[in-house]
Structure 1
Amino acid sequence: MTRISGRIVTPDAIIPGHLELDGELIAAIVPDDGVGDDVIVPGFVDLHCHGGGGHTFTTGSFLAAKEAAAFHLRHGTTTMLASLVSSPFELMRSAVSAFQPLVDDGTLAGIHFEGPYLSEVRCGAQNPAHLRDPSMSEIKDLIKIGEGAVRMMTVAPELPGALEAISYLAEHGVLAAVGHTDATYDQTHAGVAAGATVATHLFNGMRPPHHREPGPVVGLLSSTIVCELIADNIHLHPGMLAFAARSTGPDRAVLITDAMDATGMPDGRYELGGQEVVVADRVARLAHNGSIAGSTLTMDVALRNAVAAGLPLVDAARMASTTPARLLGLSDRLGALQPGLRADLVVLTPDLTRRTVLRAGEAL
């Protein structure tokens, strides 16, 4: 029996005490006031990540994906989706086949296709050369060959065929996400009614709100959808992060990294979806037009930034672990510090700096 001591952050409270681990599982939480000031949170669950440590998911390379997942695991992300960007169908198809073994062995929880069925007006750092209207034949083929590996797909709901695509995704166990969209308020709600359950990086890649046409941001906040938030203090001002999280509550908000391969690497020139990216002082931008191109964020820093923005630690931990685990249908296995769940956890110093990571009870 392994014992981990500190202030244990559960979905409802912070409990000073010990976590008792029995192999891969949490056996018990034992309250005890004399355990020091270390903070123990559940292993992070990142729904939206393109790479890290100099390695990318976006080219469909098995080895690069394995290394990118390992990099983020060292920063506390014990469960993650591999996110691709808008690409030719041949690359999408080959990536599913390449990543399938990593899904099977638990390195990845699945694949997220951020595109190519996105708005050209709100494409952000997505390569416009690869954007197109939703193709049911492509979607059906990806789901079929993935055999459960395809877990999320971002779609702009105003595009021709988008509502049919969203419904099909939802009916086949794939999270349909609304993002990179110029949709009206009503078009956004139509996407939610069709089955969308996630908002891809709320605010970013979306028409800004206006009091006479609220657009997708207000449409998503006013729905039942779960909203991704990039907590790097670059994509979102801390005040906007706190506003959105308080508007939704921790059961309708998730922290994500949207990280690219430059995460954890020196400033310099990188590539994303066939476009050159320049990273300077942690900020990634397309070389040709200056659009923000993903982040250099890790989930441990995202949690710390969310708390610094004024969110309670319990809520921030739910947004970083519990809520995304529920979305993926994994809450009976992971995403919280509770007896019977897998012993995925991150030990943080009192100032929320990462100290130790355990996955399935095994320290890294």
Structure 2
Amino acid sequence: MISSDAKRDGDCLDGNILTPQGWRLGRLDWQDGRIVSLEGEPVDPMTNDYPRLLPGFVDLHVHGGGGADAMEGGEAAATMARTHVRFGTTSLLVTTMTAPSEDIQRALTDIARLMATPPLRAARLLGVHLEGPFLNPGKLGAQPPYAHPGTVEAVDALLALAPIRVLTLAPELGGHAELIRHLCDRGVRVLMGHTLGSYEEGVAGLASGAHGFTHLFNAMTGLHHREPGMVGAALAHAEHAEIIPDLLHVHPGAILTALRAIPRLYGVTDSTAAAGMPDGDYRLGEQRVTKCLGGVRLADGTLAGSTLTMDQALRNLIEIGLDLADASRRLSQYPAEFIGEQEIGRLAPGCHADVLVLNPDLELEAVYVGGQLAHAARAADASPVGTSSVSQ
């Protein structure tokens, strides 16, 4: 049974554990950074006040955080990883912007270097989400004006610099059907976004091998009953798409619509350097953006990424009607599986011990990455608040 002691016992945590099979009240053990056992009885976590143990969040679209922007290169990705782990992200893709080729190459080179010597007490760097430059110049949103069609040769040159796991492109541009097929052959997951493509062009992109859609509803042709657009292609045919659940980029009703239509819809932050920082001016690629009133915008008022963190994304999804287990899966298991990662995003034997400890109010109390404490709500306390031990 669960005792009243609030402590962590060795390499284990006790509480309501969210497993792929459902909730268990009991103990999660790990060794050498990997989960070795899960013990406990089925439970409804709403019936008790013990901590909720969730898999660490997996964010596949992160431009910045902690004042650092991915396109700066240098140590920016490390700063991002250390910032976002404070909000429960235990793995992420560093996401680049449309930019001159030399700037993209520099950013990729520095990301690869940091992946080789990972920062401590930080989210795991899984690789790169290349968002541009292969976008439609007429649907850039907050992207700088360097978009152009892609080629196999250009993509291969970038792949030689860093592991690009996800790539966003506009499927309607010339040569992109061939490019999608080539990227699939190279193991890259292709998303369609920043696009003026029609419904038919979205369907054709999926037929060429594209895997889903980037920040659904944003920077793409919308749904009209006589011109379904790229949104219509997603709602009618997609298995996967990312969405920004900050309740600013997308209305809750549109999120619920997408949830009914797209089985593996998953959340991303699309966060900028302003995430985890006070209001003010920040960098987004070569552009300056302003954080205020909970959002990030260009000088003309255009939304430019977000300040969203994954713990807030969890609470937002629950606010609009999802239960805790479903909201968690869409921020951990589904994005991990989308890029072929089977050892993160879930709490199961053999997986990395990437564990979040939340109290009943869904406030983050502690974050473990590979079994190591990366963040605690009370920084001076080595034991996370709100955990409990199992009486033997």
TM bin (shorter chain): over 0.9
- CA deviation profile, 1:36-60 (whole Å, cap 9, x unmatched): 431111011100000111111122x
Is 2:242 the counterpart of 1:228? yes
CA distance in 1, matches of 2:172, 2:193: 11
Cα offsets for 1:279-317 (capped at 9, x unmatched): 111111111x21100000111111111111111221111
User: What does 1:100-111 align with in structure 2 at a 5 Å threshold?
Assistant: 100-105=112-117, 107-111=124-128
Asked if residue 290 in structure 1 is aligned to residue 304 in structure 2, the reply is: no
The aligned amino acid for 2:223 is P
Hey, what's the Cα distance between the residues in 1 that align with 2:164 and 2:261?
30
Q: Deviations over 1:50-98 (max 9, x none)?
A: 0111111122x13111111111112111110000110111111122211
2:102 equivalent in structure 1: 90
How much does 1:134 deviate? 1.6
**Matched residue of 1:158: which SS?**
coil
In the alignment, does 2:16 pair up with 1:7? Answer: yes
8 Å contact 1:11–1:314 — kept in the other structure?
no
What fraction of aligned residue pairs are identical, expressed as a percent?
Answer: 40
> 2:361 and 2:259 mapped to 1: Cα distance?
21
Deviation at 1:223, TM superposition (A): 1.8
Question: Which of 118, 125, 139 lines up with 2:155 in the alignment?
Answer: 139
Report the Cα distance in structure 2 between the residues aligned to 1:104 and 1:315, rounded to whole angstroms.
34
Take 2:366 and 2:190, find their aligned partners in 1: how far apart are those partners?
Answer: 34
Q: Which residue of 2 aligns with 1:99?
A: 111
CA-atom RMSD in angstroms:
1.6
TM-score of the pair, normalised by structure 1: 0.94
Q: Could you give the per-residue CA deviations for residues 130-167 of structure 1, whole angstroms, max 9, x where no partner exists? A: 11122332112111233xx1111100001111111111
Aligned pairs for 1:1-364 within 5 A: 1-31=10-40, 36-59=49-72, 61-105=73-117, 107-128=124-145, 130-146=146-162, 149-249=163-263, 252-287=264-299, 289-331=300-342, 333-364=343-374
SS at 1:276's partner residue? Answer: strand
Scaled by the length of structure 2, what TM-score is found? 0.87
Does the 8 Å contact 2:192/2:213 carry over to 1? yes
The alpha-carbon distance between structure 1 residues 308 and 12, as it changes in their structure 2 partners (threshold 3 A), is: farther
Residue 10 of structure 1 contacts residue 314 of structure 1 at CA under 8 Å; is this kept in 2? no
Question: Cα deviation per residue 1:308-358 (whole Å; 9 max; x = unaligned)?
Answer: 111122111111111111122211x21101112110011111121111000
Letter in 1 for 2:141: G
Shift of 1:105: 4.2
Q: Quick check: 2:135–2:193 contact (8 Å CA) kept in 1?
A: yes
Shift, 1:35, TM fit: 7.5
Which of the two has higher C-alpha Rg? 2
Give the SS at the match of 1:188.
Answer: helix
How far apart are residue 120 of structure 1 and its match?
Answer: 2.1
Gaps of 5+ in 2: 1-9, 119-123, 375-392
Look up the SS of the partner of 1:151 in the other structure: strand
Relative contact order: is structure 1 or structure 2 higher (C-alpha 8 Å, sep ≥ 6)? 2
Q: Distance in 1 between matches of 2:197 and 2:262?
A: 20
| Between 20-29 and 76-85, the greater mean CA deviation after superposition | 20-29
Aligned structure 1 segments of 4 or more residues deviating by more than 6 angstroms: none
Q: Which region of structure 1 is more displaced relative to structure 2, 333-342 or 24-33?
A: 24-33
CA contact (8 A) 2:63 2:272 kept: yes
Range with bigger deviation, 99-108 or 276-285:
99-108
* Distance apart, 1:26 and its partner CA: 1.2
